[in-house]
Structure 1
Amino acid sequence: MPQTLDWIDWIVLIATLAIIVGYGTWKTRGSKNVQDYVRGGNTSKWWTIGLSVMATQASAITFLSTTGQAFSDGMGFVQFYFGLPIAMVIICLVFIPIYHRLKVYTAYEFLENRFDLKTRSLTAILFLIQRGLAAGITIFAPAIILSVVLGWNIITLNIIIGVLVIIYTVSGGTKAVTVTQKQQMFVIFAGMVTALIIIVNLIPNEVSFVDAIDIAGATGKMQVLDFSFDLENRYTVWTGLLGGTFLMLSYFGTDQSQVQRYLSGKSMKEMQMGLLFNGLLKVPMQFFILLVGVMVFVFYQFNPSPLNFIDRSTETVLASEYGDDYRALQAKQDSIFQIKKTVALQVSSNSDNQLNKQLFMLDSLEKNLRTKSKFLIKKAVDKDYATQYENLESEIKSLNSEDETYADKTQALEAMYETAGKDTKTNDRDYMFISFILNNLPKGLIGLLLAVILSAAMSSTASEINALATITSIDLYGRNLSEDKGDDHMVKMTKWFTLGWGVIAILIACFANLAENLIQLVNIIGSIFYGNVLGIFLLAFFFKHIKGNAVFSAALITQVIVIIGWWFEWMPYLWLNLFGCILVIFIAHLLQPIFKMSTHGN
């Protein structure tokens, strides 16, 4: 993997980022009051809102991790987004009219009007915790991946990405975030469409796009819908429609990083149309990104792929005492590739069930080898691991008996890998797409795709620190301190809070650790908090007899229970959204009669 970029790539990368940052800073200079700085002057059109909402959600993790998810597990992850259109309609009918009528700057202002100050402050703090962590991860994700594949210092990358975002976000506030996100989404769309076209053209000429889909389907990568009720399965139609709807309701309806995007709308109609635009386009967009990852998988059916996409990990294990074992795995993979290439060509010209089964078997066997390679890498980088899990060796060997299918072997190996405790530094799914870009795309286009990754990181991070600063300024600082503050003071303090949260996000990025899959990590963090927050808002909207003390106490109890449930893996993380939402509503109903009877009740 190249450690340096060609001069053309540097020009494309630097020019793209400089134009975005410069345009955002110039276009939004001189925000004089809170209305302009926090709500963007309420001038945004529906298409600007829609693109801004999409850009906020589409972080670098989306492109790096989602493509890696598709490469490994196929298209099934798109089910995660099935609840999004439903959530958009509900938010347009329920949330937006209330926010617009009350002319709020933040979603949590409404909670004080409905309940009390402490409930508003608690909900704002819950947001600051989860979104503050997520802001660091959105910087860290592209930084650590680029540091590994390009050899750059990760601290430097964290600072570069963070500082670029801080420059225009501090300067122009919400409007700066919104106007730059239009350019960022253009770069993202152009880059991903170009990448797909190039990938398809890199596949052998005798294999058409339809043939490529057939090959992906033969290995199970094109299975989009799963109607099973298996709670062990993270992504099914039901988790998407139920858990996903509650997650999206909370994210787009109560998360200030999204609420602030559409509160900048020129009118309620513009806000609603912007969200509906996002609802219509988001699922196809995610499908397209996953398809890019699947096409990379097809590309590697006809071209040799590395056993591990992290070069430094491979170099480490090859230089260790386990080097010969790793080379043996590489040799096996080479032999599998020769067979796989032949079978894939046969599948492309003759879709036969037996050939499909053979290709699926070969793919399962290659997964088996990748899993074994992770064991060896873990041993090479962690000496404690080698002694702690040495009994796994015999279990792995026992899986090689002829009476077990390759798929069963792979599942068992991966189950043991999870049991052993994942060394996240050896997980290479998130590195797959960037590795492919650097090794296979033409000069100039590499710079464009790196600009896509960094633009996505900047767009989501800008939205997050903008929202964090707004909540800190409006909901905590401005509301909990008694002295009267003018517009100039509040704008100045919001800028300082923006700078402060930007620095905190950079620090979190510098101390973060990779998870099994970055896109899952962000969604897990959200799922731990979002259900509870959504339940608080639903109590405010629909249960008028429930008062502040009951909601405040129920929210605290619910958050503790949800964290315990996540820690002990009571359910797949998406269900935590539904669980937390129902739980806070249920507990609030139990507590309300108690507080009503108490002299301290409402």
Structure 2
Amino acid sequence: MQQLDWIVLIGTLFFIVAYGVYKTKGSKNVDDYIKGGSEAKWWTIGLSVMATQASAITFLSTPGQAFHSGMGFVQFYFGLPIAMVIICLVFIPIYHRLKVYTAYEYLETRFDLKTRSLAAILFLIQRGLAAGITIFAPAIILSAVLGWDLTTLNILIGTLVIIYTVTGGTKAVSVTQKQQMAVIFAGMFVAFYLIVSYLPADISFSKALKIAGASGKMDILDFSFNLDNRYTFWSGIIGGSFLALSYFGTDQSQVQRYLSGKSVKEMQLGLIFNGLLKVPMQFFILLVGVMVFVFYQFNASPLNFNPAATKTVQNSIYGAEYEQLENKHKEIELQKAEVNLKYGNNLNNVGLVTEIKNLNALDIENRAQAKALIIKAAPSAETNDKDYVFIHFILNNLPRGLIGLLLAVILSAAMSSTASELNALASTTAIDLYKRNVTSKKTDAHYVKASKWFTLTWGIIAISVACVASLFDNLIQLVNIIGSIFYGNVLGIFLLAFFIKYVKSNAVFLAALITQVIVIIGWYFDWMPYLWLNLFGCALVMLIAVIIQIFTKNKLVAV
């Protein structure tokens, strides 16, 4: 990184933090601090909801996901617009009518305090873990690529977020997220334009899409019912709908974003805006990853994109073997560049498509052998390099200044998502647990102060989780897996509250405990792809609650 990159990076982050503190200083009451004074317009809500979901993981992992597996991941988001409509029609009117600060307040109205507290605790567990990962994701990548100290990065990102989140609460989060989304959109569009411009002169964008298609990267829709396929049209529409319903309808980090709306209409328009824009946005980010793949069909790429893993094996007794694989990798790359260039100028040649597929198979096999050597050299080393693909492209191919801008995109995304999570964790702790279970006779100023202390506490917890976390198969999948383990259960509790009136609190409470244990066991033993855990958990808690209620009622009648 050059001096100009540092100026752009530090200047962007400093402006966001300072602007958030300046615009929101002086929140004196709970309504201002937790609901932002209920003043947000629909576009602020929409961008805030989107920024909360679009963490740094989105901009690090999603292009890498497309680089390795193509555009099929976009099916994960197909259920989101459906969920937005349901939430607008069912959830928002209820929350607004009851004037709740958190989603879980409604559960006490419908059931009792213990059910409300259980749902809040389930949220705190999964969102507390996720907050750590949203800090850890950019930190570990930047640490490995730039050589920065990982712990220092975790603390730096966490501290920046804590400063303005503690100061201004929900309003600070919403205000800064508009700036962060502007930086994010600008950076991604610039990156996309440059990637396409770096392709060979006679390879247009349309030809690049055909080249990607020859390698299977443009296979978007999978209508199979094979549960071994993680991302299909059906898992996206069904499992994705339940995940989105749970996340946007019951997760306080999202609910708090639209509860800050000025009216029901503003809240609904904000969510519809998010539903309409989110799928195209994810499609575009995946397309950026596909274009990075095409770029590396004509330009040199590392055998493994994780520089730390590469350095480890190169300095080991397996260094000579790894060098042989690197030489083979270079030969394959030269052949791929030649064949892809021919195909770009002769798109109807089926024989060239076969050659491309054969070379891709050789490349995949060679990379697998490299990963095996890395494991031999250091069994604990991270061989998965999906999350390093996009950052490698940024640092090695973008001009000065734009590197700083794209790093600002990654860190802005980390800050926006983490700020929402800390804000929601603090609000839930203060309102659902502290106020209802510890003390309910204090002033507004007391609860604002308590919320600030809880924000700080959760910030420290998130930084601590980030410091001890380890990389998973793919970070964006890890966050969604954590959510899927808990979300279905919580969604089922809310659906019981909304629609099945004869089920009472004790039945729901017991069913939720049983369901959570079963879902965790199901995930551990890999009963199904994680997206289906949302539907499984939701259906299971509702079924168990109804059975317990019927059994209890019959037992009372018999007595």
Q: Deviations over 1:28-74 (max 9, x none)?
A: 00000000000000000000000000000000000100010000000
Question: Which of residues 316, 323, 332 is equivalent to 2:319?
Answer: 323
- Provide the residue aligned with 1:74 in structure 2: 70
- Provide the residue aligned with 1:59 in structure 2: 55
Q: Equivalences for 1:433-582 in 2 at 5 Å? A: 433-582=390-539
Code of the aligned partner of 1:363: N
Work out whether 1:121 is the aligned partner of 2:117.
Answer: yes
Q: Equivalences for 1:127-206 in 2 at 5 Å? A: 127-206=123-202
C-alpha contact (below 8 Å) 1:136/1:507 kept by paired residues = yes
Work out whether 1:291 is the aligned partner of 2:293.
Answer: no
- Provide the residue aligned with 2:360 in structure 1: 363
Work out whether 1:377 is the aligned partner of 2:374.
Answer: yes
Code of the aligned partner of 1:29: K
C-alpha contact (below 8 Å) 1:424/1:516 kept by paired residues = no
TM-score of the superposition, structure 2-length normalised? 0.98
Q: Deviations over 1:495-547 (max 9, x none)?
A: 00000000100000000000010000000000000000000000000000000
C-alpha contact (below 8 Å) 1:527/1:574 kept by paired residues = yes
Q: Deviations over 1:266-287 (max 9, x none)?
A: 0000000000000000000000
Which consecutive aligned stretches of 4+ in structure 1 deviate over 4 angstroms post-superposition?
A: 597-600
Work out whether 1:353 is the aligned partner of 2:347.
Answer: no
In structure 2, C-alpha distance between the alignment counterparts of 1:553 and 1:343, rounded to whole Å: 62
- Provide the residue aligned with 1:108 in structure 2: 104
- Residue 483 of structure 1 and its aligned partner are, at CA, apart by 4.5
In structure 1, C-alpha distance between the alignment counterparts of 2:75 and 2:536, rounded to whole Å: 19
In structure 2, C-alpha distance between the alignment counterparts of 1:47 and 1:345, rounded to whole Å: 44
Q: Equivalences for 1:234-249 in 2 at 5 Å? A: 234-249=230-245
Work out the number of aligned pairs and report it.
557
- Provide the residue aligned with 1:341 in structure 2: 337
What secondary structure does 1:227 align onto? coil
C-alpha contact (below 8 Å) 1:424/1:513 kept by paired residues = no
Code of the aligned partner of 2:403: I
Question: What percentage of residue pairs aligned between the two structures are identical?
Answer: 71
Q: Deviations over 1:218-262 (max 9, x none)?
A: 000001000011100000000000000000000000000000000
Question: Which of residues 202, 210, 216 is equivalent to 1:214?
Answer: 210
In structure 2, C-alpha distance between the alignment counterparts of 1:176 and 1:315, rounded to whole Å: 42
- Residue 356 of structure 1 and its aligned partner are, at CA, apart by 1.2
**Higher deviation after alignment, 37-46 or 344-353:** 344-353
In structure 2, C-alpha distance between the alignment counterparts of 1:542 and 1:103, rounded to whole Å: 20
- Residue 594 of structure 1 and its aligned partner are, at CA, apart by 2.9
TM-score of the superposition, structure 1-length normalised? 0.91
- Provide the residue aligned with 1:390 in structure 2: none
Q: Deviations over 1:160-211 (max 9, x none)?
A: 0000000000000000000000000000000000000011111111100001
What secondary structure does 1:426 align onto? coil
C-alpha contact (below 8 Å) 2:2/2:400 kept by paired residues = yes
C-alpha contact (below 8 Å) 1:55/1:185 kept by paired residues = yes
What secondary structure does 1:192 align onto? helix
- Residue 347 of structure 1 and its aligned partner are, at CA, apart by 1.2
Code of the aligned partner of 2:248: F
What secondary structure does 1:230 align onto? coil
Code of the aligned partner of 1:538: L
Code of the aligned partner of 1:537: F
- Residue 432 of structure 1 and its aligned partner are, at CA, apart by 0.7
In structure 1, C-alpha distance between the alignment counterparts of 2:177 and 2:440, rounded to whole Å: 36
What secondary structure does 2:382 align onto? helix
In structure 2, C-alpha distance between the alignment counterparts of 1:33 and 1:381, rounded to whole Å: 54
Distance change (3 Å), C-alpha of 1:148 and 1:260: same
In structure 2, C-alpha distance between the alignment counterparts of 1:377 and 1:13, rounded to whole Å: 33
What secondary structure does 2:13 align onto? helix
Structure 1, gaps ≥5 residues long? 383-422
- Residue 310 of structure 1 and its aligned partner are, at CA, apart by 1.7
- Provide the residue aligned with 1:425 in structure 2: 382
In structure 2, C-alpha distance between the alignment counterparts of 1:222 and 1:334, rounded to whole Å: 25
Question: Which of residues 251, 270, 273 is equivalent to 1:255?
Answer: 251
Q: Deviations over 1:350-378 (max 9, x none)?
A: 11222112112211211111111111001
In structure 1, C-alpha distance between the alignment counterparts of 2:91 and 2:420, rounded to whole Å: 20
- Residue 481 of structure 1 and its aligned partner are, at CA, apart by 2.1
Question: Which of residues 37, 59, 76 is equivalent to 2:33?
Answer: 37
Q: Equivalences for 1:295-314 in 2 at 5 Å? A: 295-314=291-310
In structure 2, C-alpha distance between the alignment counterparts of 1:336 and 1:118, rounded to whole Å: 61
- Provide the residue aligned with 2:544 in structure 1: 587
- Residue 312 of structure 1 and its aligned partner are, at CA, apart by 2.3
Code of the aligned partner of 1:179: V
- Residue 433 of structure 1 and its aligned partner are, at CA, apart by 0.6
Code of the aligned partner of 1:128: L
- Residue 599 of structure 1 and its aligned partner are, at CA, apart by 6.8
- Residue 424 of structure 1 and its aligned partner are, at CA, apart by 6.4
- Provide the residue aligned with 2:85 in structure 1: 89
- Provide the residue aligned with 1:98 in structure 2: 94
- Residue 597 of structure 1 and its aligned partner are, at CA, apart by 5.0
Q: Deviations over 1:96-126 (max 9, x none)?
A: 0000110000000000000010000000000
- Residue 595 of structure 1 and its aligned partner are, at CA, apart by 3.0
In structure 2, C-alpha distance between the alignment counterparts of 1:84 and 1:166, rounded to whole Å: 30
Code of the aligned partner of 1:196: F
C-alpha contact (below 8 Å) 2:309/2:381 kept by paired residues = no
In structure 2, C-alpha distance between the alignment counterparts of 1:506 and 1:314, rounded to whole Å: 27
Code of the aligned partner of 2:480: N
In structure 2, C-alpha distance between the alignment counterparts of 1:483 and 1:242, rounded to whole Å: 41
In structure 2, C-alpha distance between the alignment counterparts of 1:483 and 1:178, rounded to whole Å: 28
Code of the aligned partner of 1:16: T
C-alpha contact (below 8 Å) 1:307/1:330 kept by paired residues = yes
C-alpha contact (below 8 Å) 1:21/1:164 kept by paired residues = yes
